[in-house]
Structure 1
Amino acid sequence: MKIYATPCPLVIPCNNTVSYKQNSPYKKPDTAISLLQISRNPEELIQIHSLLIKTSLIREKHAFGRLLLSFASESATIDYARKIFDSAEFPRNSFLYNTMIRSYSNCGDPRSAFLVYSQMVCEDSVFPDDFTFTFVFSACSKLSSVSQGKQAHAQMIKTAFRFGTHSWNSLVDFYAKIGEMGLVGRRLFDEIENPDIVSWNCLLDGYVKSGELDHARTLFDEMPSRDIVSWTTMLVGYLNAGLLSEASHLFDEMPERNVVSWSTMIRGYVQLGSYREALGLLKEMQVAGIEMDKITVTTLLSLCAGVGALDQGRWVHAYIDKHGIGIDAHLSTALVDMYSKCGRLDIALKIFREAKDKKVFLWNALLGGLAMHSRGKKAIELFSEMLEGGTEPNEITFICILAACSHSGLVRDGLRIFHSMGKDHNVVPTVEHYGCVVDLLGRAGLLYYALQIIENMPMLVDSNVWRALLGACRLHGNVELGEQVGRILIEMEPLNDGNYVLLSNIYATGNRWEDIKKLRREMKARGVRKTPGCSSIELNGVVHEFVVEDHSHPKSPEIYELLNEMANHLSWDGNEL
Structure 2
Amino acid sequence: MLIGRMKPLSLLRRRSSRISASNTEPHPSLVEAYHGTHLHLDPRLLSINPIKSPPISPRFSESIASNRPNSSNSFLSLLHSCTDVLALGKIHGLLIVRGLTQNLQLQTKLIGSYGTFGKLECARMVFDSIPDPDLYSGKVMLKWYIMNERYMEAIGFYTCMRQRLQEQDNIVFSLVLKACVKLLDLDEGKKLHCHITKVGNPDCFVLNVLIDMYAKCGDMECARRLFDEIQERNVVSWTSIIAGYVQNDYAEEGFVLFNKMRWACVEPNEYTIGSLLTACSALDSLHQGKWIHGYMIKDGMGVDSFLGTPLLNMYVKCGEVTDARSIFDELCDADAVPWTAMIVGYTQMGYPVEALKLFSDEKWTGIVPNSVTLASALSASAQLKDLNLGRVLHMLGIKLGLDEYAAVMNALVDMYAKCCAILEANYIFERTSPKDVVTWNAMIAGYSQNDLGYEALIFFNQMRSDGCLPDAITVVFDEMRDRNTVTWCAMMGGYGMQGDSIGSIDLLRKMLKEDLQPNDVTFTSILSTCSHTGMVDEGQKYFDTMSKHYDIVPSMKHYACMVDMLARSGKVEEALEFIERMPMQADISVWGAFLHGCRLHSRLEFGEVAVKKMMELQPETPDYYVLMSNLYASDGRWDEAFKIREVMKEKGLIKLPGCSSIGMDNGLHSFALKDMFHRHGNTSPNFKVFSEHMVQ
Query: For the residues of structure 1 that align with 2:524 and 2:120, how far apart are their CA atoms?
Result: 65
Segment of structure 1 superposing worse, 300-309 or 7-16: 7-16
Report deviation, 1:216: 2.0
- Tell me whether 1:167 sits opposite 2:183 in the alignment: no
Amino acid at match of 1:357: G
Q: TM-score, normalised by structure 1?
A: 0.64
Note the 1:209-228 alignment, pairs <5 A.
210=250, 211-212=252-253, 213-228=255-270
| Aligned pairs for 1:5-44 within 5 A | 5=47, 11-13=55-57, 14-15=61-62, 16-17=64-65, 19=67, 24=72, 28=75, 33-35=80-82, 38-39=83-84
Choose from 216, 238, 243 the match for 1:205.
243
Indicate the residue corresponding to 1:264 in structure 2: 310
Q: Which amino acid aligns with 1:12?
A: I
Structure 2 counterparts to residues 19-98 of structure 1, below 5 A: 19=67, 24=72, 28=75, 33-35=80-82, 38-39=83-84, 45=85, 48-49=88-89, 52-53=92-93, 55-56=95-96, 61=104, 64-65=107-108, 68-69=111-112, 80=121, 84=125, 87-95=128-136, 97-98=138-139
Residue in structure 1 matched with residue 410 of structure 2 by the alignment: 364
Please state whether the residue corresponding to 1:28 is helix, strand or coil.
helix
Are 2:431 and 1:400 equivalent residues in the alignment?
no
Q: In structure 1, what residue type is equivalent to 2:239?
A: N
Give deviations 1:254-278, integer Å, cap 9, x for gaps.
222424434323423443xx42xx2
> Contact between 1:17 and 1:29, CA under 8 Å: does it hold in 2?
no
* The structure with more radius of gyration: 2
Contact 2:312–2:327, Cα closer than 8 Å, also in 1:
no
Give the letter aligned to residue 481 of structure 1: V
Residue of 122, 137, 141 corresponding to 2:177: 137
Aligned equivalent of 2:372: 330
C-alpha distance in 2 between matches for 1:132 and 1:219: 29
CA offset digits 1:222-279 (Å, max 9, x no partner): 33434333333334344434433222223223222424434323423443xx42xx21
Partners in 2 of 1:421 and 1:483 — Cα distance? 25
CA distance in 1, matches of 2:280, 2:55: 58
Partner of 1:545: none
Q: Matches of 1:60 and 1:302 in 2, distance apart?
A: 59
Structure 1 position 280 matched with structure 2 position 319? no
Task: Map 1:397-476 to 2 at 5 A.
Answer: 397-409=439-451, 428-431=467-470, 454=495, 457=498, 463=503, 467=507
For the residues of structure 2 that align with 1:148 and 1:253, how far apart are their CA atoms? 39
Report matched runs for 1:530-541 at 5 Å: none
Q: Report SS of the residue matched to 1:324.
A: coil
Give the counterpart letter for 1:220 in structure 2: R
Moved more, 93-102 or 359-368: 93-102
SS in 2 for 1:17: helix
Once the two structures are TM-superposed, the CA of residue 185 in structure 1 deviates from its matched residue by 0.5
Greater shift, 4-13 or 255-264, is seen at 4-13
User: Taking structure 1 as reference, are residues 435 and 244 closer, same or farther at Cα in structure 2, changes over 3 Å only?
Assistant: closer
Q: Which residue of 2 aligns with 1:531?
A: none
2:184 aligned partner, one-letter code: S
Instruction: Measure how far apart 1:19 and its partner are.
Output: 4.7
| Structure 2 counterpart of 1:380 | 426
Cα distance between partner residues in 2 of 1:291 and 1:216: 30
How far is the alpha carbon of 1:182 from its aligned partner? Answer: 3.1
The answer (yes or no) to whether the contact 1:101–1:116 under 8 Å persists in 2 is yes
After superposition, residues 89-168 of structure 1 pair within 5 angstroms as: 89-95=130-136, 97-98=138-139, 101=142, 110-121=151-162, 123-125=163-165, 127-159=167-199, 164-168=203-207
Distance in 1 separating the partners of 2:111 and 2:500? 57
Q: Describe the shift of the 1:415–1:173 C-alpha distance in structure 2 as closer, same or farther (beyond 3 A).
A: same
Structure 1 unaligned residues grouped into runs of 5+: 40-44, 491-502, 516-577
- Which shifted more, 91-100 or 148-157? 91-100
Q: Secondary structure at the match of 2:75?
A: strand
C-alpha separation in 2, matches of 1:433 and 1:324: 38
Query: Percent identical across equivalent pairs?
Result: 14
Distance 1:411 1:269 in 2: 38
Q: Which moved more, 1:395-404 or 1:445-454?
A: 445-454
CA deviation profile, 1:369-403 (whole Å, cap 9, x unmatched): 3334443222123345x46xxx6544533433343
- Aligned residues of 2:493 and 2:525 also touching (Cα < 8 A): no
Q: Kindly indicate whether the alpha-carbon contact (under 8 Å) linking 1:435 and 1:464 is maintained by their aligned counterparts in 2.
A: no
Q: 1:184 aligns with which of 226, 229, 235?
A: 226
Whether the 8 Å contact between 2:447 and 2:453 is mirrored in structure 1 is yes
Residues 5/316 of structure 1: CA separation in 2 closer, same or farther (3 Å cut)? same
- 1:230 paired to 2:272: yes
Q: Is the 8 A contact 1:17 1:30 kept in 2?
A: no
Q: What is the distance in 1 between the residues matched to 2:196 and 2:472?
A: 50
By how many angstroms is 1:303 displaced? 1.0
Q: 1:52 to 1:333 in 2, by over 3 A?
A: farther
Rounded to whole Å, the distance in 2 between the matches of 1:49 and 1:91 is 23
Letter in 1 for 2:194: A
How far is 1:482 from its partner? 0.7
CA–CA separation in structure 2 for the residues paired with 1:282 and 1:438: 28
C-alpha RMSD of the superposition:
5.1
CA apart distance, 1:306: 1.1
Letter in 1 for 2:208: N
**Inter-partner Cα distance in structure 1 for 2:150 and 2:311:** 32
Amino acid at match of 1:141: V
1:43-92, Cα deviation, whole Å (9 max, x unpaired) = xx367446524652776555655565566568xx6774686477544445
Distance 2:86 2:501 in 1: 62
Q: Does 1:309 align with 2:351?
A: yes
Q: How far apart are 1:281 and its partner, in Å? A: 0.8
> Could you tell me how far apart the structure 2 residues matched to 1:69 and 1:105 are?
13
| Closer, same or farther: CA 129–421 of 1 in aligned 2, 3 Å | same
CA distance in 1, matches of 2:104, 2:173: 22
Q: Which residue of 1 aligns with 2:388?
A: 346
Partner of 1:292: 334
Structure-2 residue corresponding to 1:482: 522
Q: Which amino acid aligns with 1:179?
A: M
Separation in 2, partners of 1:465, 1:12: 79
CA distance change for structure 1 residues 322 and 435 in 2, over 3 Å: closer, same or farther? closer
Structure 2, gaps ≥5 residues long = 1-40, 531-541, 553-696
Measure the CA separation in 2 of the matches of 1:310 and 1:85: 59
Following the alignment from structure 1 to structure 2, what is the Cα–Cα distance between the partners of residues 430 and 73? 52
Name the CA shift for 1:447/1:244 in 2 (closer, same or farther; >3 Å): closer
